[in-house]
Amino acid sequence: MTLEDSRVWIFVGLWLLLAVLESFASAGGRQSPRSLRWRRHLGLAGLYVLMLRIIAPGGAVVGALWADENHAGLLQQVQWPAWAGWALSLLVLDLAIYWQHRIFHLRPLWWLHAVHHSDNEFDLSTGIRFHPFEILLSLIWKICVVVALGAPAEVVLLYEIILSSMALFTHADVRLPESVDRPLRRLIVTPNMHRIHHSTRQYETDSNYGNALSVWDRLFRSYRSQPDPGFQFGLERWRAPADQRLGRLLGQPFDDEPGTDRLDSD
């Protein structure tokens, strides 16, 4: 089985594993029926997966293949040991996703990304809750980074698996014991750490942007270890149950003044 063949099975297997853990070790992030949330979020994901299949079937891997064929990108200009090229590529890709995330917290891109944050609850399905237009812009950004770097196609595919896996893990409604979470978050982003990022308060939302490695938040001073008292999930503008329907998720970026939705006070 190739890495490409394994991609879907890894995603499905991790989804099921985290769903079981959420059932037995919930952190209290979900109140609505799981089936309702899954239908809506999987429906949203199905739309953007279909869109990408039509527009760019190979995803960011196409950029890597083009760079290799045309000897484009940094890694194509220097003789690197294979392991060094892989390590550097994984680091740069994760750093690129960190900065993509930070930039999407600025208007007007925030209007798209707010769909992810307007979830008033928090579970693994939040990790796939993105507006299709954000997914498209993210793909364009990743292709640009991959081509500029000249990353190997195998590494790009591996990072795509890491990216989707960490999206599920960091949004899982699982409360890790402090004895596990503390050493783990020194290296990677944990659910306890990322949960803060989904606060109604902007100063908490604008923290803990990392996808896989937690070092970027520490390095660029966006790390926050704990939420303040009174923590809530979501955005104030879209708290009605009707705002969580699939049609509303697609339409939220086009509301009047969609960016006026976070509490600025601390």
pTM: 0.93
Q: What is the pLDDT along the chain (266 residues), one digit of tens a residue?
A: 666 778 899 999 999 999 999 999 888 888 889 999 999 999 999 999 999 999 998 899 999 999 999 999 999 898 889 999 999 999 999 999 999 999 999 999 999 999 999 999 999 999 999 999 999 999 999 999 999 999 999 999 999 999 999 999 999 999 899 999 999 999 999 999 999 999 999 999 999 999 999 999 999 999 999 999 999 999 999 999 999 999 999 999 998 766 555 655 44
Q: Could you tell me if 129 and 116 are in contact, meaning their C-beta atoms sit under 8 angstroms apart?
A: yes
Nearest to 196 by CA among 188, 211, 207: 207
Rounded CA-CA distance 260/258 in Å is 6
Residue ranges of domains in the chain: 37-254
CA distances from 26 to 29, 174, 182, 191 (A): 7, 5, 18, 11
How do residues 87-143 score in pLDDT, each as one tens digit? 999 999 999 999 999 999 999 999 999 999 999 999 999 999 999 999 999 999 999
Instruction: Using CA atoms of 158, 159, 163, 164 in order, give the dihedral in degrees to the nearest 10.
Output: -20
Residue with tokens 């697609």: 250
Q: Taking the alpha carbons of 137, 40, 255, 227 in that order, is the dihedral positive or negative? A: negative
Q: Could you tell me if 217 and 210 are in contact, meaning their C-beta atoms sit under 8 angstroms apart?
A: yes
